[in-house]
Amino acid sequence: MNKINQLFATRGDRKLLSLYFCAGCPTLDSTGDVILTMQRRGIDFIEVGIPFSDPLADGPVIQTAATRALKNGMSVRLLLEQLRAVREQVSIPLILMGYLNPILHYGIEQFCADAADAGVSGLIIPDLPFDDYLATVRPAADRHDLRVIMLITPETSDERIRFIDDNTDGFIYMVSSAAITGAQKSFDEQKQDYFRRIDRMQLRNPRMIGFGISNRQTLEAARQNAAGAIIGSKFVTLLNEADGNADLALDRLFDALSR
């Protein structure tokens, strides 16, 4: 069974926590160490960012991380080599999050094959048109037992959400707001209404809430309205401040989430 499906099938009532970091930032060769440290510290699954020069969905923190990673020399091919090097030590799901252009340049079929060989369980491609997903990406991903995770926002219609739910497997990534990534201090009533609306739809796929989670208030709001939370910008910031020391960054993250 795909590790993503297995995780959600066996979690019971436990709320999950996923973290995102950009491969190659702050240092080129830290990918494996960051992943293994997260696993040891109890993170349920990890989104590994593929740096790209034009990350449209990302705020300044992740944009800056991507630029630094590219300057350090990170590439899709190198990232897959780094993941392959630690594959036998990783038991939790790894999800590659990246934009369509580098994947097309690599070749969709070859990318899916090499990602699976490196121990990847899923893909998030924010700028992937759904028609292209159905026609091209999903068949390639299915051949290599990869789950393609789709994002929804407060602007996504109920009809579209149900269509996504019917045609994907793994989980649905609920973007907390129709905006770029970045830490927020709280989720206002409008966002809470969005969370409750999606909850009432009783979708087939479990949901994870991301974008803006950085403290206890936003974490608890996500946990109350979904299977768990995804944290990106906050952890990227802390990892940079800790000069790539993932243990120290996690200490500081857990402290921030407790307040």
Cis ω for the linkage preceding 154 (within 30 of 0): no
Q: Which residues fall within 8 angstroms of residue 207, CB to CB, at 6 or more apart?
A: 171, 172, 173, 174, 198, 226, 227
- Given a contact cutoff of 8 angstroms between Cβ atoms, the answer to whether 248 and 26 are in contact is no
Location of structure tokens 């080599």: 81
Q: Which of 34, 20, 23 is nearest to 234 (CA)?
A: 20
Which one from 47, 166, 243, 251 is the annotated catalytic residue? 47
Which one from 58, 131, 188, 193 is the annotated catalytic residue? 58
Our answer to whether residue 47 is catalytic in this structure is yes
State which amino acid sits at residue 219: L
3-class secondary structure, 137: helix
Q: Which residues fall within 8 angstroms of residue 244, CB to CB, at 6 or more apart?
A: 26, 27, 30, 33, 34
Our answer to whether residue 117 is catalytic in this structure is no
Measure CA 120 to chain center: 12
The residues assigned a catalytic role are 47, 58
